[in-house]
Amino acid sequence: MDDEYAKLIRRVNQPRVVIDNNACEDATVIQVDSVNKHGILLEVVQVLTDMNLTIRKAYIASDGGWFMDVFNVVDNDGNKIRDKEIIDYIQRRIETSAGFVPSQRGSVGVMPSEEHTSIELAGTDRPGLLSEVCAVLADLRCNVVNAEIWTHNTRAAAVVHVTDDSTGCAITDPKRLLMIKDLLCNVLKGNDDLKTAKTMLSAPGVMHRERRLHQIMFADRDYERVEKTGVRAVEERSSKPQVNLLNIEKDYTVITMRAKDRPKLLFDIICTLTDMQYVVFHGMVNTTRMDANQEFYIRHVDGLPISSEAERVRVIQCLEAAIERRASEGLELELCTEDRLGLLSDITRIFRENSLCIKRALISTKGDRPECAAGET
């Protein structure tokens, strides 16, 4: 009954999105007013980051039953959003996301698709791992449509969308799916089985890829620090993001963070807090030319602030990991060429043969042309 009442309230009080280019001199201001629900902040931030908008400032207020947020955003070139079609699209996307009432039993971020098979991988990172994975997929006649690979703290995670090379559609044969899963799992295990490698297949299926990567790495406990010594330990401490927690009156835990600014930083932080079952009631984001300062007043979904030292340490570790996963300090290489079966296997083999480690990769295809960006070697 309570769930049906909540749905009625949301239908009566539809989200309101105002996009204003006059309120701020150097950014487009997006104001969102909506009935509050768990996860709504992530949904709004996800829309903005999916549009490749940079959030320069944000003011968050969702105490009580109403959600009122203001975002100052610019495009990739640092300019205001002037195109009316883009403005209308952003408005529709936010209103749809904020007004959507999810099923209690639905999986987060999962939508049906007949176009491809989704493969999720998690395991211990090592030189040449991506090359071996791509070689297995090529041998099994699986064409990679798009993929994203992250590595952090000796762990590796990937979400890969593949099609059957002969049909161009999702792979649905249970025996073939089982063979793909078993062979990829053997590759991920390698000679080091300290942590169990994981391979998951869904046919058909598609999800918000970046959120799923955060969930995979979180489940794989990549936030647990591997002790380093010497120069690397000093460099790691100097570049480490600053995350502090403090409990105050009115039963809030205040999180303050300072880190090097980069695209999608706010999404990564809000995604992690949401998946850890914390609710942001108030917040502020302010970026400078180099740094991002963020402050959030949070509670757990049960209404309580962080109450133990173990929980405090775990939240700090998880937020640090969320900030670091997408950060790249190495050489970024962009490739674009005609697509063919086994292309990724050939490209990644060249990296391996030249003793280059791929720390992060983004692969996509448009028609018969793949676009591949591999970062940090």
The amino acid that residue 221 corresponds to is R
Look over the chain and give the mean of its residue pLDDT values, rounded to a whole number: 84
The amino acid that residue 345 corresponds to is S
Whole-model pTM: value is 0.85
One-character DSSP codes across 262-295: -TTHHHHHHHHHHHTTEEEEEEEEEE-SSEEEEE
The total of other beta-carbon atoms located within 10 Å of residue 313's CB is 12
**CA neighbours closer than 13 Å in the CB half-sphere of residue 221:** 7
ω into 305 cis (within 30 of 0): no
The structural domains of the chain, ordered by start, are 1-98 (3.30.70.260), 117-222+330-364 (3.30.70.260), 243-325 (3.30.70.260)
Judged by DSSP in three states, 233 sits in helix
Encode pLDDT of 78-102 as tens digits. 999 999 999 999 999 998 876 544 4
CA 39: distance to chain centroid?
Answer: 14
> Is residue 206 packed enough to be buried (19+ CB in 10 Å), middle (13-18) or exposed (0-12)?
buried
Segment-wise mean pLDDT, segments of 10 residues, the chain, 377 residues: 53 79 95 88 94 95 85 95 94 78 35 72 92 94 92 93 90 89 89 66 66 94 75 58 87 94 94 95 93 96 92 96 87 87 90 91 78 56
